[in-house]
Amino acid sequence: MTTVASKADMMRDFVSFIESNDFEKASAMCTDDLTWESSNGTFYGKEGLKRYINWMAETVEDYKITEAGSGIIEQGDKALFEHTMSGVIEGEKVSFLAMCVYEFSGEKISKLRTVFDRLAIAEQASSQWLPKKIVNTVVNQMQKGL
C-alpha cells in the first residue's frame, strides 16, 4: 500500500528544494502547465519555474523560508502557507512576511500565488544614500496620517 504525502508535507518539500536551488526535484512536484504568480511576475510551466528559481538563487544569498503565523492550512485541493522569507540582498539582511496559495491537481502543484511586500524588501535592502532616500520618501508618503 502506497501512502500519499499530505499537501503540507509536499509544500515543505517543495520549499526545501527551492531553498537548495534544486530545480529537478522542485519541478518533479509540479504539473507541466504550472502557473506561479508572484509580486515579481508570472511564470509559466517548468521553464518559468526554472527561471524563477534560478533568479532567486542569483538575487538572494542564504535564502530561507520559515513557517510563520498560521503556518499551512489545507482545504480541498488548495492550501495556504504563511511564512517568512529571509536572506541577504546586495549585502543587506532582509526578512519579510509572505503568503502562498498552492493549488493541486492530484499529487502535483498546478498553481501558486505568492504575495509579499516588495517595498518592505527595498526598505531593508537599500543601503546607499540615494536609493535609501527614495524608498524612505515613498514609505513616509504612504504612512502619512497614520
Give the chain's radius of gyration (CA, Å). Answer: 17
Q: What is the pLDDT along the chain (146 residues), one digit of tens a residue?
A: 555 679 999 999 999 999 998 999 999 999 999 999 998 899 999 999 999 999 999 989 998 999 999 999 999 999 999 999 999 988 889 898 999 999 999 999 999 999 987 777 777 777 776 767 776 777 677 667 76
CATH of the domain at 42: 3.10.450.50
pTM of the model: 0.82
Domain annotation covers residue 2:
no
Domain annotation covers residue 85:
yes
> What is the count of structural domains for the chain?
1
The sign of the torsion formed by the CA atoms of 86, 39, 113, 45 equals negative
Looking at residue 62, its amino acid is D
CA–CA gap between residue 94 and residue 77 (Å, rounded):
32
Domain annotation covers residue 127:
no
C-alpha cell at 50: 526554472
Domain annotation covers residue 124:
no
Residues forming a β-bridge with 114: 100
Domain annotation covers residue 144:
no
Domain annotation covers residue 108:
yes
CA–CA gap between residue 39 and residue 133 (Å, rounded):
23
Residue 26: domain span: 7-116
CA–CA gap between residue 4 and residue 52 (Å, rounded):
28
DSSP state of 136: H
Domain annotation covers residue 134:
no
Domain annotation covers residue 27:
yes
Contact of 101 with 78, CB cutoff 8 Å: yes
Q: What is the number of helices (H) and of strands (E) in the chain?
A: 5, 6
CA angle at 17 for the pair 76 and 93, rounded to the nearest 5°: 105
